[in-house]
């Protein structure tokens, strides 16, 4: 029996192994199962949004939340809403019949526009097609009480006494954005609308280091109207200006206001305004008058990037003192300053200094306005300046070569004139005029020729040997393009006819 068991052992083991393998195969085989259905999955960043402290009735900058479908199937949404607090919501996510495909994203934007002081919190809810809230994003911020942080340069604008039916010199008010965020000016209002206070065009220069560009040129402050018309925001720290002039048509005290309106996003959020009172007094007549020493200042040609200065004398010629309100130019190629006092007595004069710094080649024109209380309210002087390239010397020589022909040995030819001209825009310096034997040169040219001037170099030929002679007249100068001008010189030395020279075949002078 043991023997039989010993003989059957390997067979049994093979059968058992086969059964195990079959069982394993049976267990491993399963009926094919359906693959998992595509499913949408949302990923949101950031999960919460915190806003900086924001002025009551103002608005914060917009913050963005990325909403991405990171699943394998499309996502269907019915709405995205803001619940609680003063939070404004925008988004570009598809709603209703639209779908957010797998791998795509949309953007949720929110802004804090507090209507009361204190901390506020809200929730942005994402609602799916089954009207279930699937995701919530916390938003929070604090409203800060207090007045506007737009700082005007004056709390009230008072005009000098102005004659009835005349116009005062302009007054300027600047507005500086101290809010810490962009603001969008959208309306500049002169009240009353049919009244005697109106805008007046012009430019002013910013003083100080921040007022200069990298090229070192003064920067122009933009008018508030420019921000409004160009529909651009005013960044924190930026300023704009408004001009006002007073044209009374009723006697006595006149009042009005200048109102700047702005919001915090360019589409009406957090609309705010600031009002500056305007006061003027209309009088029956004005006895002041003035004269200027010129009605035009022509600077002529000025090298681009270099300043040129002209002066203008202003004289008070009326029966009463002249009130001077300022000087200005309408082009940034010109800068104007004055030493004029605010009140100039009759017969007294002061000086206006105008500087032209052209930025490109060609003619530049402008108007210089002197604002005052005489009638009319300003005096206009034309400014004219032509941007030119840097002056450069240039030489011109009247000929490229001189031929003396045949000349008997030992004799000297008549002189030939070579004209040297200065045809550049800067003086021409002549450093040398020379030649080599058998040629000679004599000249009375000065060391320097002004543009348009000329001089002569007189060249002669004295052959000492028979045959053709060649050389050049060298003219050295400071012409950067032609520092050494050359004129070819040539002549032939010959012997007079004789029997001996004829027999020896020596060079004979021709007819």
| pLDDT tens digit sequence for 193-241 | 767 898 864 333 333 333 333 333 345 688 999 999 999 999 999 999 9
Angstrom distances, CA of residue 443 to CA of 112, 130, 397: 87, 106, 14
Average pLDDT in the 440-458 region?
94
Same domain? 400 vs 380: no
Plot region of 274 (φ>0 → left; ψ -120 to 50 → alpha; else → beta): beta
Tens-digit pLDDT profile for residues 122-173: 999 999 888 787 889 999 998 887 656 888 999 999 988 877 777 777 889 9
Same domain? 322 vs 279: no
The total number of residues shown for the chain amounts to 511
Question: Given 359, 388, 417, which residue is the final one in a domain?
Answer: 388
In this structure, what token pair is assigned to residue 368?
Answer: 């210089």
The pLDDT confidence band at residue 18, using thresholds 50, 70 and 90, is very low
**How far apart are the C-alpha atoms of 255 and 252, rounded to whole Å?**
10
Are 457 and 443 in contact by the 8 Å Cβ rule? The answer is yes
Residue 34 CB coordination number (10 Å): 5
Same domain? 401 vs 498: yes
Q: Does 510 fall in a domain?
A: no
State residue 58's pLDDT score: 74
Angstrom distances, CA of residue 6 to CA of 10, 11, 17, 18: 8, 10, 17, 20
State residue 130's pLDDT score: 83
The pLDDT confidence band at residue 453, using thresholds 50, 70 and 90, is very high
State residue 497's pLDDT score: 60
Q: What dihedral do alpha carbons 460, 462, 463, 464 form, nearest 10°?
A: -150
**Tokens 């609308």 -> residue:** 193
- The number of CA neighbours under 13 Å toward the Cβ of 115 is 6
Q: Does 10 fall in a domain?
A: no
Tell me the pTM: 0.41
DSSP alpha helix (H) spans, 303-401:
none
Same domain? 295 vs 351: yes
Average pLDDT in the 8-26 region?
43
Q: Which helix (H) or strand (E) holds 309?
A: strand 308-316
Statement: residue 511 has pLDDT above 80? no
3-state secondary structure of 229: helix
Statement: residue 499 has pLDDT above 80? no
Count up the domains in the chain and report the number.
4
State residue 132's pLDDT score: 84
**Tokens 């704009």 -> residue:** 240
Same domain? 164 vs 271: yes
Share of the chain above pLDDT 70, in %: 85
Q: Does 75 fall in a domain?
A: yes
Sequence-distant (≥ 6) Cβ neighbours of residue 278 within 8 angstroms: 156, 157, 159, 197, 244, 246, 255, 256, 257, 258
Average pLDDT in the 6-11 region?
44
**How far apart are the C-alpha atoms of 322 and 372, rounded to whole Å?**
7
- The number of CA neighbours under 13 Å toward the Cβ of 97 is 0
Q: Does 134 fall in a domain?
A: yes
State residue 374's pLDDT score: 83
Q: Are strands 105-112 and 87-91 parallel, antiparallel or unpaired?
A: antiparallel
State residue 139's pLDDT score: 93
Are 385 and 361 in contact by the 8 Å Cβ rule? The answer is no
Q: Does 475 fall in a domain?
A: yes
The pLDDT confidence band at residue 249, using thresholds 50, 70 and 90, is confident
Average pLDDT in the 373-390 region?
89
Average confidence score pLDDT of the chain: 84
Among 97-101, 211-215, 418-422, 438-442, name the one with the lowest average pLDDT: 211-215
Angstrom distances, CA of residue 247 to CA of 100, 200, 258: 62, 11, 15
* Nearest partner of 151 among 176, 183, 173, judged by Cα: 176
Are 408 and 508 in contact by the 8 Å Cβ rule? The answer is no
Average pLDDT in the 487-491 region?
95
State residue 205's pLDDT score: 39
3-state secondary structure of 336: strand
Average pLDDT in the 385-406 region?
92
Question: Given 335, 359, 388, which residue is the final one in a domain?
Answer: 388
Cis omega before residue 438 (within 30°)? yes
State residue 33's pLDDT score: 46
State residue 180's pLDDT score: 84
Same domain? 416 vs 342: no
Are 280 and 197 in contact by the 8 Å Cβ rule? The answer is yes
* Nearest partner of 256 among 193, 313, 182, judged by Cα: 193
Same domain? 226 vs 240: yes
Tell me the CATH number at 129: 2.60.40.10
Statement: residue 175 has pLDDT above 90? yes
**How far apart are the C-alpha atoms of 14 and 29, rounded to whole Å?**
22
Tens-digit pLDDT profile for residues 42-81: 999 999 999 988 878 777 888 999 999 999 999 999 999 9
Same domain? 311 vs 359: yes
The pLDDT confidence band at residue 448, using thresholds 50, 70 and 90, is very high
Same domain? 408 vs 486: yes
Same domain? 63 vs 112: yes
Percentages of the chain per state (helix, strand, coil), in multiples of 5: 10, 50, 40
Distance from chain centroid for Cα 97? 48
Q: Does 169 fall in a domain?
A: yes
State residue 390's pLDDT score: 87
* Nearest partner of 198 among 254, 154, 262, judged by Cα: 254
Are 327 and 371 in contact by the 8 Å Cβ rule? The answer is yes
Range of the domain at 211: 150-283
Average pLDDT in the 233-260 region?
91
Same domain? 158 vs 263: yes
Are 171 and 276 in contact by the 8 Å Cβ rule? The answer is no
Question: Given 335, 354, 388, which residue is the final one in a domain?
Answer: 388
Same domain? 381 vs 441: no
Q: Does 22 fall in a domain?
A: no
- The number of CA neighbours under 13 Å toward the Cβ of 243 is 18
State residue 209's pLDDT score: 32
Q: Does 25 fall in a domain?
A: no
Q: Are strands 197-199 and 133-144 parallel, antiparallel or unpaired?
A: unpaired
Angstrom distances, CA of residue 372 to CA of 17, 146, 241, 249, 338: 118, 39, 20, 18, 13
State residue 218's pLDDT score: 43
**How far apart are the C-alpha atoms of 352 and 240, rounded to whole Å?**
26
φ, ψ dihedrals at 360, nearest 5°: -155, 165
**Tokens 């402008």 -> residue:** 366
Sequence-distant (≥ 6) Cβ neighbours of residue 126 within 8 angstroms: 42, 67, 77, 80, 133, 134, 135, 136, 137
């Amino acid at each position: 029996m043991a023997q039989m068991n010993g003989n059957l052992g390997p067979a049994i083991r093979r059968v058992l192994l086969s059964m195990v393998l079959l069982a394993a195969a049976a267990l491993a085989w399963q009926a094919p199962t359906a693959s998992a259905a595509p499913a949408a999955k949302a990923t949101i960043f950031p999960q919460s949004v915190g806003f900086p402290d924001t002025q009551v009735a103002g608005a914060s900058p917009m913050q963005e939340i990325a909403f991405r479908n990171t699943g394998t199937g499309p996502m269907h949404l019915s709405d995205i809403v803001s619940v609680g607090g003063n939070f404004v919501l925008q988004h570009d996510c598809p709603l209703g019949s639209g779908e957010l495909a797998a791998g795509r994203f949309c953007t949720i934007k929110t802004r804090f526009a507090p209507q009361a002081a204190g901390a506020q919190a809200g929730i942005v809810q994402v609602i799916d097609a089954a009207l279930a809230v699937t995701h919530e994003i916390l938003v929070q911020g604090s409203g800060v009480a207090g007045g506007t942080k737009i700082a005007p340069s004056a709390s009230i604008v008072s005009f000098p006494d102005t004659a009835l039916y005349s116009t005062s010199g302009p007054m300027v008010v600047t507005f500086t954005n101290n809010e810490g965020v962009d603001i969008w000016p959208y309306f500049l209002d002169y009240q009353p609308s049919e009244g005697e206070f109106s805008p007046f065009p012009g430019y002013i220069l910013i003083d100080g280091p921040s007022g200069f560009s990298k090229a070192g040129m003064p920067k122009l402050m933009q008018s508030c109207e420019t921000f409004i018309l160009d529909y651009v925001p005013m960044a924190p720290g930026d300023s704009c200006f408004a001009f006002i002039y007073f044209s009374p048509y009723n006697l006595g005290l006149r009042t009005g206001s200048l109102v700047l309106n702005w919001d915090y996003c360019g589409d009406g959020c957090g609309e705010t305004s600031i009002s500056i009172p305007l006061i003027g007094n209309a009088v029956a007549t004005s006895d002041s008058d003035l004269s200027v020493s010129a009605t035009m200042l022509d600077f002529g040609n000025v090298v681009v990037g270099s300043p040129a200065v002209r002066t203008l004398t202003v004289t008070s010629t009326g029966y009463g003192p002249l009130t001077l309100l300022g000087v200005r130019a309408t082009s940034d190629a010109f800068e104007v300053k004055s030493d004029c006092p605010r009140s100039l007595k009759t017969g007294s004069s002061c000086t206006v200094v105008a500087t032209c710094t052209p930025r490109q080649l060609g003619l530049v024109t402008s108007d210089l306005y002197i604002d005052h209380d005489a009638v009319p309210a300003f005096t206009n002087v034309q400014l004219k300046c032509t941007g030119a390239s840097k002056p450069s010397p240039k030489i011109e020589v009247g000929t490229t070569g001189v031929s003396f022909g045949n000349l008997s040995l030992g004799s000297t030819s008549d002189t030939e004139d070579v004209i040297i001209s200065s045809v550049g825009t800067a003086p021409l310096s002549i450093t040398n005029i020379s030649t080599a034997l058998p040629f000679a040169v004599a000249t009375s040219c000065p060391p320097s020729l002004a543009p348009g001037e000329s001089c002569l170099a007189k060249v002669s030929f004295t052959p000492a040997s028979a045959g053709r002679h060649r050389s050049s007249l060298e003219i050295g100068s400071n012409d950067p393009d032609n520092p050494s001008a050359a004129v070819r010189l040539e002549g032939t030395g010959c012997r007079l006819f004789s029997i001996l020279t004829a027999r020896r075949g020596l060079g004979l002078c021709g007819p």
